[in-house]
C-alpha cells in the first residue's frame, strides 16, 4: 500500500514511517520544513511539502494514496494558549482527508487520546467521552473521523496513551523529569496512587500499521501497553535516575513545580486495550514505563 502520513517526522510519526516501510509499504510523508523534509527523505519515504493547514495539499496527497495516517497536530500553538485553534485546524484537516477518501473504502487513521475517557475507572475502547474545554475538543475530531465510515471510508481512531515513551521522547515524561531536576526532588501528588496508561513508541507504531492493514471501519484502537502505572512509581524511578529525594507534595505545590502538567499528574485514568489486542492480535513487547526510565536515557537527554 501507498500510505500518506502527516506528522511523518514527529515522535510517533517517524516510528510509524519506519514501521510501514519495514512492512514493504510505500510512504508519502508530509513535511512543513526543510529539516522535516530531510528527515522524511532520510527514512526512505517520499516527501510532500506542506502543513496541515494546506488543505488542498492534504486532499491531493490522500487521493494519490491507498490510505492515510493523520498524526500531525499544531503542538507549537496548542500549549501556548491556542489549544482551540489547534483543535480546529486538526478538524479541518480530518474533514479534508475524509472528503478525499470518500467512497473508496480506503483507510483513514487519526490520532486521539485516552485522557478524560472515564477518570478513576478502567476505560475501554467502547467508552466515548464527552467533549470538555481545551484538550477535550479533540473528542469531537474523533467523532468527525469515525463518521466518515458512513461514506465508505475505513476510518479509525487511534487513542494514544498520554506518554508514548522511549529513547528520544520530548513529551510528558521528558518535561516531568526536567521539572523534578529543577526542583531538586522527584515529586508525586498526595499518595501517588493515581495511574497513567503508557505505551512504548515501537508498540504504538506497530499498532498503527496493523490498524491501517486490517482494522474495520469505525474502529477505536487503544495504543496502551500498560493499563495504569502509579505516578508514585514513576516518581521513584525518576528519583533513582536523578539521584534525588522522592517526595509527596500537595496539589498547590505541584502547580508550582510542574505548571500546566500538575493537572495531568493528578489524574487517575487507567485504560484497557484488551479489545484492541483481540481485534488485531497486537501484543506490546517494548519495555514498560518504569523499566524504560530505569534505562537512563531520559536523564542523559534532560541534562544535555
Q: 257-270 pLDDT, tens per residue?
A: 999 899 889 999 99
The three-class DSSP label of residue 107 is strand
Sign of CA dihedral 35, 38, 43, 45: positive
pLDDT exceeds 70 at position 137? no
Task: Note whether 75 and 215 are same-domain residues.
Answer: yes
Question: What is the count of structural domains for the chain?
Answer: 2
Answer yes or no: is 30 within a domain.
yes
Provide the whole-model pTM: 0.93
- Identify the domain containing residue 298 by its residue range: 167-197+227-270+287-303
pLDDT exceeds 50 at position 238? yes
For the record, the C-alpha cell of 226 comes out as 500498560
What's residue 47's pLDDT? 97
Task: Note whether 171 and 215 are same-domain residues.
Answer: no
Mean of the per-residue pLDDT values of the chain:
93
Task: Note whether 218 and 244 are same-domain residues.
Answer: no
Q: Pairing mode, if any, of strands 26-31 and 46-49?
A: parallel
What's residue 130's pLDDT? 67
Q: Which own/partner pairs from 27-34 qualify as long-range (CB within 8 Å, at least 24 positions apart)?
A: 27/2, 27/3, 28/2, 28/3, 28/4, 28/61, 28/64, 28/65, 29/4, 29/5, 30/4, 30/5, 30/6, 30/57, 30/58, 30/61, 30/72
For the record, the C-alpha cell of 286 comes out as 517494548
- Eight-state DSSP code of residue 233: H
What's residue 133's pLDDT? 54
Answer yes or no: is 157 within a domain.
yes
pLDDT exceeds 60 at position 190? yes
Task: Note whether 69 and 21 are same-domain residues.
Answer: yes
pLDDT exceeds 70 at position 110? yes
Task: Note whether 29 and 152 are same-domain residues.
Answer: yes
Answer yes or no: is 276 within a domain.
no
Cβ-contact 137, 92 below 8 angstroms: no
Answer yes or no: is 281 within a domain.
no
Answer yes or no: is 110 within a domain.
yes
Task: Note whether 142 and 234 are same-domain residues.
Answer: no
For the record, the C-alpha cell of 243 comes out as 539521584
Cβ-contact 257, 187 below 8 angstroms: yes
pLDDT tens for 24-60 read 999 999 999 999 999 999 999 999 999 999 999 999 9
Q: What percent of the chain has pLDDT over 90?
A: 84
* Distance from the Cα of residue 301 to its chain's centroid: 20
pLDDT exceeds 70 at position 302? no
For the record, the C-alpha cell of 56 comes out as 488542498
What's residue 304's pLDDT? 40
Cβ-contact 21, 45 below 8 angstroms: yes
Task: Note whether 148 and 17 are same-domain residues.
Answer: yes
Task: Note whether 94 and 220 are same-domain residues.
Answer: yes
pLDDT exceeds 80 at position 198? yes
> Quick one: average pLDDT of 170-174?
92
pLDDT tens for 1-31 read 999 999 999 999 999 999 999 999 999 999 9
Cβ neighbourhood burial of 260 (10 Å; 0-12, 13-18, 19+): exposed
75-109 b/e (C-beta count within 10 Å ≥ 16 → b): eeebeeeebeebbebbbbbbbbbbbbbeebebbbb
What's residue 264's pLDDT? 87
Task: Note whether 177 and 159 are same-domain residues.
Answer: no
Task: Note whether 155 and 53 are same-domain residues.
Answer: yes
pLDDT exceeds 60 at position 211? yes
Higher per-residue confidence, 29 vs 300: 29
pLDDT exceeds 50 at position 204? yes
| Bridge partners, 222 (sequence order) | 159
Task: Note whether 231 and 245 are same-domain residues.
Answer: yes
pLDDT tens for 221-237 read 999 999 999 999 999 99
Task: Note whether 112 and 126 are same-domain residues.
Answer: yes
What's residue 86's pLDDT? 79
Answer yes or no: is 275 within a domain.
no
CATH code assigned at 298: 3.90.25
Amino acid at each position: 500500500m501507498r500510505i500518506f502520513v502527516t506528522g511523518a517526522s514527529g515522535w510517533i510519526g517517524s516510528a510509524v514511517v519506519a514501521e510501514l516501510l519495514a512492512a514493504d509499504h510505500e510512504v508519502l510523508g508530509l513535511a512543513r520544513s526543510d529539516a522535516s523534509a530531510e528527515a522524511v527523505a532520510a527514512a526512505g519515504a517520499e516527501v510532500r511539502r506542506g502543513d496541515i493547514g494546506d488543505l488542498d495539499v492534504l486532499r491531493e496527497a490522500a487521493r494519490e494514496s491507498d490510505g492515510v495516517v493523520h498524526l500531525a497536530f499544531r503542538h507549537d500553538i496548542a500549549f501556548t494558549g491556542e489549544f482551540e485553534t489547534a483543535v480546529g485546524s486538526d478538524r479541518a484537516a480530518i474533514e479534508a482527508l475524509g472528503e478525499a477518501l470518500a467512497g473508496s473504502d480506503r483507510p483513514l487513521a487519526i490520532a486521539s487520546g485516552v485522557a478524560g475517557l472515564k477518570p478513576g475507572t478502567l476505560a475501554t475502547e467502547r467508552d466515548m467521552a464527552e467533549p470538555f474545554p481545551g484538550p477535550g475538543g479533540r473528542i469531537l475530531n474523533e467523532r468527525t473521523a469515525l463518521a466518515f465510515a458512513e461514506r465508505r471510508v475505513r476510518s479509525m481512531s487511534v487513542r494514544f496513551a498520554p506518554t508514548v515513551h522511549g529513547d528520544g521522547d520530548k513529551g510528558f515524561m521528558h518535561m516531568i523529569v526536567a521539572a523534578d531536576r529543577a526542583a531538586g526532588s522527584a515529586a508525586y501528588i498526595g499518595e501517588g496512587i493515581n495511574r497513567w496508561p503508557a505505551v512504548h513508541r515501537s508498540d504504538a507504531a506497530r499498532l498503527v500499521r496493523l490498524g491501517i492493514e486490517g482494522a474495520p471501519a469505525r474502529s477505536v484502537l487503544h495504543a496502551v501497553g500498560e493499563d495504569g502505572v502509579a505516578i508514585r512509581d514513576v516518581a521513584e524511578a525518576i528519583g533513582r535516575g536523578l539521584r534525588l529525594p522522592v517526595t509527596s507534595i500537595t496539589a498547590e505545590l505541584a502547580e508550582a513545580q510542574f505548571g500546566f502538567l500538575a493537572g495531568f499528574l493528578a489524574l487517575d485514568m487507567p485504560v484497557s486495550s484488551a479489545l484492541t489486542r483481540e481485534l488485531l492480535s497486537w501484543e506490546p513487547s517494548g519495555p514498560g514505563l518504569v523499566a524504560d526510565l530505569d534505562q537512563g536515557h531520559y536523564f542523559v537527554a534532560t541534562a544535555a
